[in-house]
Amino acid sequence: MNKFTALRSLSAVLAAIALVACGGGNDYTTTSRGTGWDVTGRDGGFELKTKYKEQETGPGLVFVEGGTFTMGRVKDDPMHDWNNTPNQQHVQSFYMDETEVTNGMYAEMLYWIKETFPPEDEEYRNIYNGAVPDTLVWRNRLGFNEQLVKDYLRHPAYQNYPVVGVTWIQAVEYASWRTDRVNEKILNREGYTSKDALTNQEPGSTFNTETYLNAPTLTYGGDEEKIKGGKRSEQLQKQREKRVAKSGDGTGEATGLYVTRSEGIILPDYRLPTEAEWEYAALALVSVREYNSYRGRKKFPWDGQYTRSGSRRNLGELVANFKQGDGDYGGIAGWSDDGADITAEVKTYKPNDFGIYEMAGNVSEWVADVYRPIIDDDFSDFNYYRGNVYTKNKIGPDGMIAVVSADSIPYDTLSNGKVIARALPGEIQEIPITEEESRFRTNYNRSDNVNFRDGDIESSRYFGDSNKALAEENRMYDSPVRQVEVDSLGINAKIDPSAKRTTLIDNQVRVYKGGSWRDRVYWLDPAQRRFYPQDMARDDLGFRCAMSRVGSKSQKGKRPRG
């Protein structure tokens, strides 16, 4: 027994030496690197997560290892758009949805909203109505598509097809809802919340990730049984009681009654991918990587220069769903070229080298960015994104974080008159940061940075004369001004009186990427970029979600190669 113990100890020592020599693994210890003090949280002291593995991959996601790539068009450009000129960018590692968000995935949110905020209740009616996709996008004045209007969203035959008819705003709200449901499930799985926390929910008593992290006692409407009624919470509460009894003076404390970011359990937000992330994930250049360089450039998400398969098993078959020619959306009867005439069921075609499906064809996809004709790589070539609006949590008169209630739900009125909720009861109210808070910062000095270096006062030819720079007639992008209001009398739309508008570009148009079932092959190039108003929808435009990677660039078990 002693010999066995000695050998096992020797093996452990050798393994530790090898680990240090290789520089691998998380070198966590039970004592502080800075002070030598204990960091295990014993007796209520400071605690570090000493056995953290790595970020859990959220439902539906695949890992995309980041790196550098040439963003923009690197192959033929017969259109000469000049809005996707090549530029070198670096993207951090992140996660991307394996498929587009499907009708079934979106219907799950609609069911949850309907059960939690009944639309028959007038104060919640606009929450549900604002979340429902616009099924009328299928209508065509010279086409018969009424069956798609009725069935595409709800019928089980289409449940695994990508959802369409969603605006950019609706896509953002879905991602926010998904974040809360995933993290709520994780906390319940880990035993922090009660068993019935996932099912017995009412308006004003729902779970929100940021509310839980910032003011956990306000989650679930302050219902303590739900918030800390799980087995893990009960164990921690008993530990606290023992410490109090041991100290004898009531000073014993328990840690972990509520999960914080330091546990590494809560996942980052689901969100729309940035344009750079989407293009990087679509290209999947890992297939043409050799050591630390790329062998040439890819034109499509798949290898090769053609849209047909070259493999012997399915020679000649199309590898994406797109429009092949006038009136040709799916080949002839008996030999359907791409297997679909509208959208196709997700995973119909082979994934790219990151394991992501349908990054060309099927539906085009919303991304997070506000559209501009150029990518300002002179200013930023790291995680490029245009659209930052920095906010902070609102603090109420009582000094507590202000949470959205039934009578403080923020709504937007879209250009088509539809009213949509931008936050649900239980979420934290957000307000813009003030100029005073950012005045002396060097990396930003305002809340809204959408126009930065492209439309703001500093980049205007009227810089120095703020009155002229802010004047309506001197706007950089002379787009139509639309004002839509909804009142008891209906929709009141004020049409822009000017007939001399020169562009549709403004701060409310977003980039969308990828060719769709309606597009010719030209648009299947991941570098192609187009824009559409963020509050409008189409029958060939959907979305998928992304999530930031926390920690190392590579997943465990992978090492950099020379």
Longest dimension (CA), the chain: 93
Terminal C-alpha separation, the chain: 45
Name the average pLDDT for the chain. 86
pLDDT tens digit sequence for 399-430: 889 999 988 999 988 887 888 999 999 999 99
Bin 544: left if φ > 0, else alpha if -120 < ψ < 50, else beta: beta
**Mean pLDDT value across residues 502-508:** 89
Q: What is the spatial distance between Cα 349 and Cα 332, in angstroms, rounded to a whole number?
A: 19
Question: Token pair of 58, please?
Answer: 């959220």
Question: Does 168 or 293 have the greater pLDDT score?
Answer: 168
Residues 118 and 259 in one domain: no
CA nearest to 425, candidates 199, 196, 202: 202
Query: Domain span at residue 218?
Result: 191-263
Residues 355 and 309 in one domain: yes
Choose the weakest-confidence range: 287-296, 363-372, 414-423: 287-296
Read out DSSP for 162-201?
BP-S--HHHHHHHHHHHHHHHHHHHHHHTTSS-GGGGT--
Residues 156 and 226 in one domain: no
Domain boundary among 233, 263, 293: 263
91 - beta bridge partners? 67
**Mean pLDDT value across residues 271-278:** 98
Is residue 450 situated within a structural domain?
no
Residues 285 and 358 in one domain: yes
Residues 252 and 345 in one domain: no
Is residue 375 situated within a structural domain?
yes
Which residues, at least 6 apart from 169, have a Cβ–Cβ distance to it below 8 Å? 412, 414, 420, 422, 534, 535
Residues 77 and 199 in one domain: no
Backbone angles phi, psi at 483, to 5 degrees: -130, 115
Confidence of residue 477 (pLDDT cuts 50, 70, 90): confident
Return the ∠ at Cα 552 (arms to 549 and 554), rounded to 5°.
90
The predicted structure's pLDDT at residue 482: 73
Radius of gyration of the chain, Cα coordinates, nearest whole angstrom:
27
Backbone angles phi, psi at 328, to 5 degrees: -115, 95
Residues 128 and 237 in one domain: no
Residues 289 and 368 in one domain: yes
Is residue 443 situated within a structural domain?
no
Q: In CATH, what number is assigned to the domain containing residue 368? A: 3.90.1580.10
Is residue 19 situated within a structural domain?
no
Which residues, at least 6 apart from 77, have a Cβ–Cβ distance to it below 8 Å? none
Model confidence at 469: pLDDT above 90: no
The predicted structure's pLDDT at residue 242: 73
Residues 107 and 245 in one domain: no
Q: What is the spatial distance between Cα 522 and Cα 81, in angstroms, rounded to a whole number?
A: 13
Q: What is the spatial distance between Cα 212 and Cα 118, in angstroms, rounded to a whole number?
A: 24
CA nearest to 188, candidates 148, 229, 247: 229
413 - beta bridge partners? 419
Question: How many domains would you assign to the chain?
Answer: 2
Q: Which residues of 306-316 are buried (b: 16+ CB within 10 A; e: fewer)?
A: ebebeeeeeee
Residue listed under structure tokens 């009578």: 407
State pTM to two decimals: 0.90
Q: What is the spatial distance between Cα 388 and Cα 369, in angstroms, rounded to a whole number?
A: 9
pLDDT tens digit sequence for 336-361: 788 899 999 999 999 999 999 999 99
Domain boundary among 208, 238, 263: 263
Which residues, at least 6 apart from 492, have a Cβ–Cβ distance to it below 8 Å? 484, 485, 486
Is residue 154 situated within a structural domain?
yes
Q: What is the spatial distance between Cα 352 and Cα 359, in angstroms, rounded to a whole number?
A: 8
Is residue 212 situated within a structural domain?
yes
Residues 201 and 333 in one domain: no
Is residue 416 situated within a structural domain?
no
Bin 552: left if φ > 0, else alpha if -120 < ψ < 50, else beta: beta
Question: Token pair of 92, please?
Answer: 């951090």
Domain boundary among 211, 245, 263: 263
220-229 contacts: CB < 8 A, separation 24 or more? 220/193, 220/426, 221/426, 225/194, 226/193, 226/194, 226/196, 226/197, 226/200, 227/193, 227/197, 227/258, 228/192, 228/193, 228/257, 228/258, 229/193, 229/194, 229/195, 229/197
Confidence of residue 3 (pLDDT cuts 50, 70, 90): low
Instruction: Using DSSP, state whether 419 is helix, strand or coil.
Output: strand
Residues 149 and 96 in one domain: yes
Model confidence at 296: pLDDT above 80: no
Is residue 476 situated within a structural domain?
no
Confidence of residue 11 (pLDDT cuts 50, 70, 90): very low
Choose the weakest-confidence range: 7-11, 120-124, 347-351, 377-381: 7-11
Model confidence at 187: pLDDT above 70: yes
Residues 241 and 331 in one domain: no
Residue listed under structure tokens 């060939």: 540
